[in-house]
């Protein structure tokens, strides 16, 4: 959980500064409203944006299904060793998650969760004001900067998958002349760590999470869903020899272009039943 440090109030005399006019007052008032992520105005705006993102979530899901069917099932990518090892890694984690979940796993999840917050704080040029707090029951960071991407990043950024890929690349670069590890083990690691991310993300957002609540559920869920679909699609495109970002974008545009006509047609068909 990312927390923004509250500014300290400073005592100031009534006549310490001259009046700055109505424009300055309104500007400062608006700045105070929109700089506070908990303000009712911000929450209402995020709610409306979340509603507007629901069609986008469906379009992205449709596009992912097309990608999955065309480049994984029809192109027989699912029969390759790489996809098999990815699936085995994911299945292994699910067995551990449902039948052997324990405190060390929860601690690892919380650690990755808080480190992801910290990473996004750094990406947005913020800084941590206190050491990161981590335990198997929860954690938090105190930072001088926060936004919805910092708050929601652990729910769509697969921290341990990125670490696994980075370690593999470094190991391969250092030991390339001596060892030649089979690439399928990298796919197994990706499957294991990504399923770790996915299972804990679903498990946690089904509970009351302050990161989600402070941004509004509709807004948070649509952002989390869209980001995860995009990342999963990107992983599949990179891995599959027949998929491409160009075909993904073409499919997305076609689904976007025909969304409203298809929605109206569906509404008409449903209306005929009444």
DSSP 8-state secondary structure symbol assigned to residue 143: E
96 in a structural domain: yes
The confidence score (pLDDT) of residue 79 equals 83
SS3 38: coil
In a domain, 226, yes or no: yes
Q: What parts of the chain have a pLDDT lower than 70?
A: 2-38, 75, 175-180, 274
Q: Which of 91, 81, 64, 59 is nearest to 241 (CA)?
A: 81
* In a domain? residue 117: yes
Q: Is residue 19 part of a domain?
A: no
| Count of structural domains, the chain | 1
Indicate whether 195 belongs to any domain.
yes
Rounded Cα distance, 269 and 250, in Å? 28
- Please spell the DSSP secondary structure of 170-181, one letter per residue: HHHHHHTTT---
For residue 56, is it within any domain? no
> Measured between alpha carbons, how far is 245 from 233 in angstroms, rounded to an integer?
9
Query: Is 117:141 a contact under the CB 8 Å cutoff?
Result: yes
The answer to whether position 109 is within a domain reads: yes
Given a contact cutoff of 8 angstroms between Cβ atoms, the answer to whether 194 and 164 are in contact is no
Structural domain for 124, as ranges: 79-231
Looking at the domain assignment, is residue 209 inside a domain?
A: yes
Coil, strand or helix at 39:
coil
Beta-bridge mates of residue 135: 138
pTM for the whole thing? 0.83
Per-residue model confidence as pLDDT tens digits over 94-127: 999 999 999 999 999 999 999 999 999 999 999 9
């Amino acid at each position: 959980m990312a927390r923004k440090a509250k500014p300290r109030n400073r005592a100031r005399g009534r006549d310490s500064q001259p009046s700055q006019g109505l424009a300055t007052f309104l500007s400062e008032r608006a700045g105070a409203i929109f700089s506070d992520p908990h303000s009712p105005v911000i929450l209402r705006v995020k709610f409306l944006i979340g509603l507007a993102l629901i069609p986008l979530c469906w379009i992205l899901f449709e596009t992912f299904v097309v990608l999955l069917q065309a480049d994984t099932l029809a192109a027989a990518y699912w029969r390759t060793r790489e996809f098999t090892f990815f699936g085995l890694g994911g299945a292994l984690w699910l067995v551990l998650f449902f039948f052997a979940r324990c405190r060390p796993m929860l601690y690892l999840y919380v650690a990755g969760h808080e480190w992801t917050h910290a990473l996004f704080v750094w990406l947005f040029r913020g800084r941590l004001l206190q050491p990161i707090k981590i335990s198997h029951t929860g954690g938090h960071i105190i930072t001088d900067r926060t936004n919805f991407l910092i708050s929601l990043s652990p729910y769509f950024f697969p921290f341990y998958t990125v670490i696994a890929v980075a370690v593999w690349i470094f190991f391969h670069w250092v030991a390339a002349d001596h060892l030649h590890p089979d690439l399928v083990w990298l796919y197994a690691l990706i499957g294991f760590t990504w399923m770790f991310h996915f299972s804990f993300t679903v498990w946690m957002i089904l509970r009351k999470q302050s990161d989600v609540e402070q941004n509004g559920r509709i807004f948070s869920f649509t952002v989390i869903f869209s980001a995860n679909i995009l990342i999963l699609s990107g992983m599949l495109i990179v891995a599959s020899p027949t998929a491409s970002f160009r075909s993904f974008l073409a499919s997305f545009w076609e689904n976007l272009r025909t969304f409203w006509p298809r929605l109206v047609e569906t509404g008409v068909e449903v209306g005929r039943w009444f």
